[in-house]
A and B are shown apart, each in its own frame.
Chain A
Amino acid sequence: MHLKGKRLKKLISSPMALFALSSTSALAENLVENSAQAERWQMNLKPGVTELGQEIYDIHMLVFWICCVAAVFVFGYMFYAMFAYRKSKGHEPANFHEHAVAEISWTIIPAIILLGMAWPASMTMIKVYDTTESDLDILVTGYQWKWKYEYILEHGENVAFFSNLTTPSQQIHGEEAKNNNYLLEVDNPMYLPVNKKARFLITANDVIHAWWVPALSVKKDAIPGFINEISAKPFKTGTYRGQCAELCGKDHGFMPIVVKVVEQDEFDSWLSEKQTQAAELAELMQQEMSMDELLAQGEKTYAGKCAACHGSNGEGGVGAVIKGSKVATGALSWHLDVVVNGVAGTMMQAFGAQLNAIELAAVITYQRNAFGNNMGDKVQPIDVHNFKQGGK
């Protein structure tokens, strides 16, 4: 690369320079991984990693080329008319204003061409709607602003988890260099086995979202009160990234989707690990936790979920003050209610569905016993469980 070009690029945009740099040092694995991902200067759809996706891509290209040929004809005719019959050439205008054959032919010919596109498109659409005989069912739920994936399993406990954006806010606000997968990275990706037909049952908890993974050629609205179905059978392993496609509020741009398509045995071990975790959690729920255990876990959860709004020492910020607050030093049931159900009309979210019972118990205990709130009382996971069962 010429030095001048390099400098210019750096001047124009540091993230771009970073991108160029990182792509040269990228691991081979990364390159394979990114083959189905959007690239710099990408101008077209990619065929994706499902047979149906390749068929959709072919339809897209068919229609695209038909449009191109039509454009050549139409614009060729137009530019010819403009140049050949300009007044500066001294051309005298004709006076005709009707021609039945021409008018009928430019009605019928487009109609035939349209038929040639509509037919294959309809055949493909029928396949898109075939979600039968799936090997795996996953319930996808859109939340403001994250996704929840629940594997509906025939044997053993269902596996359910949230998938959150992990890009640090420092990168978003330009205080840190942006990484390769900026805004397209999550804490818990969805795993799929290769060559298996996965059926996604898509819904939402609050507003309408849309679950979109370009490489899987899957885009379906997630609508509260409805369950939409769509399926994909990826034939290639890799990491595929997508985003929420329907405006869903403030952080619509910050709820990405990451799908890891892996070999069956890798998928099985991932799934059994998730199931074991779920079982362990269920067991832990039964246990009595000591104050130390609760505080240790609570401190972690607080740092991850609460500190951003309430301050790392409970001093408040965007969120309310916790240090010496009425909630944290008041009735336990009130405290549980605020954390589990959130406070309507404020920024305080309902954490009941986002944190498990242990985390909830720990973080509430922590809030009641840290920052000088020496309440001395404990909340056990089973208390949270019972609270949730009993409603408010």
Chain B
Amino acid sequence: MSHGPAKGLSRWFLATNHKDIGTLYLWFSFSMFLLGGSFAMIIRAELFQPGLQLIEPNFFNQMTTMHGLIMVFGAIMPAFVGLANYMIPLMIGAPDMALPRMNNFSFWLLPIAFAILASTLFMDGGAPNFGWTFYAPLSTTYAPPSVTYFIFGIHIMGLSSIMGSINIIATIMNLRAPGMTLMKMPLFVWTWLITAFLLVAVMPVLAGAVTMMLMDIHFGTSFFSAAGGGDPVLFQHIFWFFGHPEVYIIILPAFGVVSEIIPTFSRKPLFGYASMVYATAAIAFLSFIVWAHHMFTVGMPLVGELYFMWATMLIAIPTAAKVFNWITTMFKGSITFETPMLFSIAFVFLFTIGGFTGLMLAIAPADMQYHDTYFVVAHFHYTMVAGAIFSMSAAIYYWLPKWTGRMYNESMGKVHFWISFLGFNLTFFPQHFIGLAGMPRRIPDYALQFADFNMISSIGAFIYGASQLLFLYNVIATIKYGEKTTVKKTWEGANGLEWTQPSPLPYHTFTTPPEFK
């Protein structure tokens, strides 16, 4: 081993080591998770009762917007990029990422982007208040002045994502250990390879959309303004051409994580590896041709409605195959229920519920009733929170002992899981009901008949929010005082190259490539 980490802050500012950069990404995303989460707490506190109690409607809109933007772009995406940085070289037997200096740049762009975004909260006219989907012309002609900073922030963040993705593709394509063919890669690596291609394909589309907004706002164009001959619906087509693949960008790495964890704790190889790879690729392909199912009420032609309905329903097929594969992996295994496994099983359970409501939303005539109600809010939180966030929690508990050489507190982990599970369902399950009963989303105040379920939902949200502080405590306590462990294979059933390395991981691993199988 040539050398250890640099001393002091330069270790982090000048980091090129994939483990350091992974650590930076993970801590950054967790801090964004807490920030976005605190906005959610403000939202749920205001919605605890009918009437306006705590905040004004405009600030409420800023909160929903910032919550969405920060959770999607600041918490979930960087969390999985961090995991990719940390784990992909270890899983494919590479010494580091292929482009370590660019890796440093990709990370450090993020705090800049989100500092810009967060600073809009203190600007004249307030932060962006047009929803994380920023539909024009509310986000152009009618936007607060801070929208320009928002656009700048999105550009920087997109740059970071694109560079991060190129790095991941380059690493996977070039640095695999001898003997590791594509079809022998761990599934987490596969899902990230496909995700990286999705990112490279759609982040420029998002950049294009915000650039057109910028032109409309400052340079007199009318891309999205009907008064100038433009088309507000065009914005939605462009946004969702980015936005639909984006939701798979978020969920595919989560699929990868649980595909690693479930076999470990079932002590049985992943069922249907090849079909998992093909299903992931199929989902990624379909994600490009279904975008307008977010737009069933904009007044598309009938054939458009029917096409997007049928295409969207197709996604159910590869998704169902994945769910069956995970369950069949457990079938006839020898299962134990440590915290990572609990989160993974909850992932399969709750994500499948989100899949069912997704199928309901695909049914165009019924979607005309569900669209823009709390039913949609419930649906996508089942996929984003119970999907992405639960799998992230699973991943942290799963690999933390490997990273730190210290064991986390299992009982505290289980308590965290059960409180999260309870809090999450208490928050979001009733939102299906208020959505079907007719409550629109993104409103700061509501009619009295929605009061009961909203109160339950808010209580659940506070519980879920509090459980994350327990998570933070458990992680810090593990790093500082956790019981030391030097076992290479933390988990009896674990497979994969990362478990052939010492615990805690040395600063440099696989400086000479391992022979794979």
Contact = CB atoms under 8 A, between A and B. Distances in A.
Contact of B369 (A15, A182, A214): A214
Interface string A33-46: 00001111111110
Given A38-B450, A93-B268, A95-B268, A121 B363 contact: yes
Contacts of A117: 313, 359, 363
Interface string B266-284: 1111111111000000000
Interface in B251-274: 266-274
A347 to B, nearest CB: 12
Interface centre among A60, A64, A217 (most CB of B within 10 A): A60
Contacts of B449: 19, 37-40, 42
B233 interface: yes
A180 interface: yes
A378 B272 CA distance: 84
A144 to B, nearest CB: 8
A16 B317 contact: no
Interface string A61-92: 00110010011001101100110011110011
B149 interface: no
Given A67-B360, A81-B331, A38 B445 contact: no
Given A78-B348, A245-B372, A38 B333 contact: no
A226 interface: yes
B330 A81 contact: yes
Interface in B125-159: 129-131, 135, 137-138, 141-142
A258 interface: no
Nearest to B314: A114
Contacts of B327: 74, 77-78, 81
A103 interface: yes
B52 A78 contact: no
Contacts of B442: 247, 252-253
A59 interface: yes
Contacts of A172: 51-52, 445
Interface in A138-182: 144, 171-174, 178, 180-182
Nearest to B142: A207
Contacts of B482: none
Interface stretch (A125-133, A272-280, A309-317, A356-364): A125-133
A223 B371 contact: no
Interface stretch (A104-112, A288-296, A329-337): A104-112
A206 interface: yes
B50 interface: yes
A63 B363 contact: yes
B447 interface: yes
Contacts of B371: 210, 219, 245
Contacts of A43: 432-433, 436-437
B299 A228 contact: yes
A74 B432 CA distance: 21
Nearest to B356: A67
Contacts of A182: 50, 447-448
Interface stretch (B75-83, B190-198, B304-312, B396-404): B304-312
Contacts of A178: 50-51, 448
Contacts of A110: 316-317, 320
B39 to A, nearest CB: 16
A94 B329 CA distance: 10
Contacts of A218: 368
Nearest to A109: B320
Interface string B105-140: 000000000000000000000000111000101100
Contacts of B182: none
A40 to B, nearest CB: 5
A243 B317 CA distance: 35
Nearest to B140: A207
A225 interface: yes
Interface string B25-57: 000000000000000000000000111110001
B334 A87 contact: yes
A124 B356 contact: no
Contact of B334 (A55, A92, A144): A92
A117 B447 CA distance: 33
Contacts of A74: 323-324, 327, 352
Contacts of B131: 247
Nearest to B435: A45
Contacts of A67: 356-357, 359-360
A389 interface: no
A13 interface: yes
Contacts of B437: 38-39, 42-44
Contact of B333 (A70, A85, A103, A251): A85
Given A15-B51, A38-B438, A63-B363, A128 B446 contact: no
A372 interface: no
Determine which residue in A128, A174, A253 has the highest number of CB atoms from chain B within 10 A of its CB, and name it: A253
B335 A207 contact: no
Interface string A203-221: 0001110101010011111
Contacts of B310: 118, 122
A72 to B, nearest CB: 12
Contacts of A244: 440
A106 B276 CA distance: 13
Contact of A125 (B275, B320, B364, B373): B364
A56 interface: yes
B260 to A, nearest CB: 14
Most chain A beta-carbon neighbours within 10 Å: one of B58, B298, B328, B448: B448
Interface in B335-391: 335-337, 345, 348-349, 352-353, 356-357, 359-360, 363-366, 368-369, 371-373
A213 B297 CA distance: 13
A121 B367 CA distance: 11
B302 A126 contact: yes
A228 B368 CA distance: 14
Nearest to A174: B51
B332 A85 contact: yes
A15 B368 CA distance: 30
Contact of A63 (B52, B142, B359): B359
Contact of A210 (B297, B438, B493): B297
A120 to B, nearest CB: 9
Nearest to A202: B299
Contact of A221 (B266, B271, B297): B297
B463 to A, nearest CB: 17
A293 B233 CA distance: 47
A202 to B, nearest CB: 8
10 contacts: A15-B49, A39-B449, A42-B433, A56-B368, A60-B366, A85-B331, A125-B365, A181-B447, A225-B232, A254-B57
Interface of B: 49-53, 57-58, 61, 129-131, 135, 137-138, 141-142, 226-227, 230-233, 266-275, 297-299, 302, 305-306, 309-310, 313-314, 316-317, 320-321, 323-325, 327-337, 345, 348-349, 352-353, 356-357, 359-360, 363-366, 368-369, 371-373, 432-433, 436-453, 455, 493
Given A63-B363, A77-B327, A103-B272, 20 more contacts: A38-B449, A59-B366, A67-B360, A71-B356, A85-B334, A86-B335, A88-B336, A97-B268, A98-B272, A111-B317, A114-B316, A114-B317, A178-B50, A207-B135, A214-B369, A220-B297, A224-B227, A245-B373, A249-B138, A251-B57
